[in-house]
Chains A and B, each alone.
Chain A
Amino acid sequence: MEHWVYKLSFAGHTLAFNLDTIFTMWAAMFVLILFAILATRKLSVIPNKLQAACEGIMNFFWNVMGSMNTSKEHVPLVASLFLFILFANLMGQLPLRIIHIKSGELASPTNDVNLTAAMAIIVLVYYVLAGIIKKGGRFFLHEFSFVGIVMALVELLEMITRPLSLAIRLFANIFAGEILVSIALGACAYFAPIPIMLFEILVAFIQATVFMMLTIAYVSSATGEEH
């Protein structure tokens, strides 16, 4: 899976942009922003159909946060991550490949490890900051004893492994799905990929849910009272 790389030279350094990822990412964000504007344009006490649907979606996130014993103030991050990942994953099943670009192909933006790594780093920064705001210095060192120092070192290690696993998990699932579809396309064109593509729709929902659940778990373990 090649990417359409655009190289920008700046003061002796070279920045590489994966333009296909940027296009499909903005397409997913455009759909989300359009929905958000249309749903919040004419708010009323008696909601119309679109507003009622969006209120139902937000209610789902509130219920999930409530069932995981996490503060409701973290709903915006969790909800936007879930919706963006879901739209981005489902975009891979659209027939975007008929649009020819210079190299590579238009597919799901989450098949690029740069995008998933960026989201994982956002989650890391968010939960560390939330923990510092909630607990101050006690976020890093819970108690000054041997056990406390060992736990602090383990948590420092987790700050590396958690975003790494978040990024690789989402990227590898979508990427493996696309490889699987292209292999099936080689085996029997048009018929063999159909069940795999239906399975990929399920995977899109599951991976968005997994990313959301892990984000909630990290934030709640960073801000919770018991460690």
Chain B
Amino acid sequence: MEQLQLAQLGAGIAIGFGAVGAGLGIGFATKGLMDAVSRQPEVAGKAFVFFLLGAALSEACALYAFVIAFLLLGK
């Protein structure tokens, strides 16, 4: 295969596997939020802030993969 085709294949693989991890992370975070809110509905506001922080932190892993994919495509 050509160099460019290999780079495009690598970019696709990178963003795909990166998205798997971030999706799992945000899913677990949502599960934790649902558990907490269904047990103690009065902590909903405070728990949601921490959920957003955790979701943003785990989403960042997919964005690292996005940056790598973009670097690969730029070559």
Contacts and interface: CB of A to CB of B under 8 A. Distances in A.
Interface of A: 165, 168-169, 171-173, 175-176, 206-207, 209-210, 213
Consensus secondary structure, chain B interface: helix
A172 B56 contact: no
A173 B53 contact: no
Contacts of A207: 56
A176 B60 contact: no
A169 B63 CA distance: 7
A168 B56 contact: no
Contacts of A173: 56, 59-60, 63
B53 A172 contact: no
Contacts, number: 34
13 contacts: A168-B60, A172-B64, A172-B66, A175-B66, A175-B67, A175-B70, A176-B63, A176-B66, A209-B52, A210-B53, A210-B56, A210-B57, A213-B53
Contact of A206 (B56, B67, B70): B56
Given A172-B66, A172-B67, A176-B66, A165 B60 contact: yes
A173 B57 CA distance: 11
Interface bin, chain B: 10 to 19
Contacts of A206: 52-53, 56
Nearest to B60: A169
A179 to B, nearest CB: 8
**Residue among B60, B64, B66 with max Cβ neighbours from chain A (10 Å):** B60
Contacts of B70: 175
Nearest to A210: B56
A38 to B, nearest CB: 30
Interface in B18-62: 52-53, 56-57, 59-60
A67 B60 CA distance: 25
Contacts of B67: 168, 171-172, 175
A168 to B, nearest CB: 6
B51 to A, nearest CB: 11
B65 to A, nearest CB: 9
Contacts of B66: 172, 175-176
Closest 4 CB pairs of A and B: A172-B63, A169-B60, A206-B56, A172-B67
B25 to A, nearest CB: 14
Contacts of A209: 52-53
Contacts of B57: 169, 210
Nearest to A169: B60
Nearest to A203: B56
A165 B61 CA distance: 9
Contacts of A213: 53
